[in-house]
Amino acid sequence: MGVISILIQNTLFGDEGVGIQDIHDICEGDIGETKIRSCILTLKNKELILVTKDGRKELYDINTSKLTEME
């Protein structure tokens, strides 16, 4: 399962954003944290991701309104 699909599923069905460690755990270590951070940075640059904070931890969601504009 890829980073983007995890973010989309979490945005649609989760209560709050998902952190990098959470994504890493969901992938069962198949995708390294560096690759996850890189993917999130790319999505941030394209304004396709929303960032919230839980204390010092950043939580990520897909910006569904921007995603639908890409169609």
pLDDT tens digits for 14-38? Answer: 889 999 999 999 998 889 999 999 9
CATH of the domain at 33: 1.10.10.10
- Please count the structural domains in the chain: 1
- Provide the residue type at 62 as one letter: I
Q: In terms of residue numbers, what domain contains 52?
A: 3-69
Q: How confident is the model at residue 64 (pLDDT cuts 50, 70, 90)?
A: confident
pTM of the predicted model as reported, rounded to 2 decimal places: 0.85
- Angle in degrees, CA 28, 32, 1, rounded to 5: 50
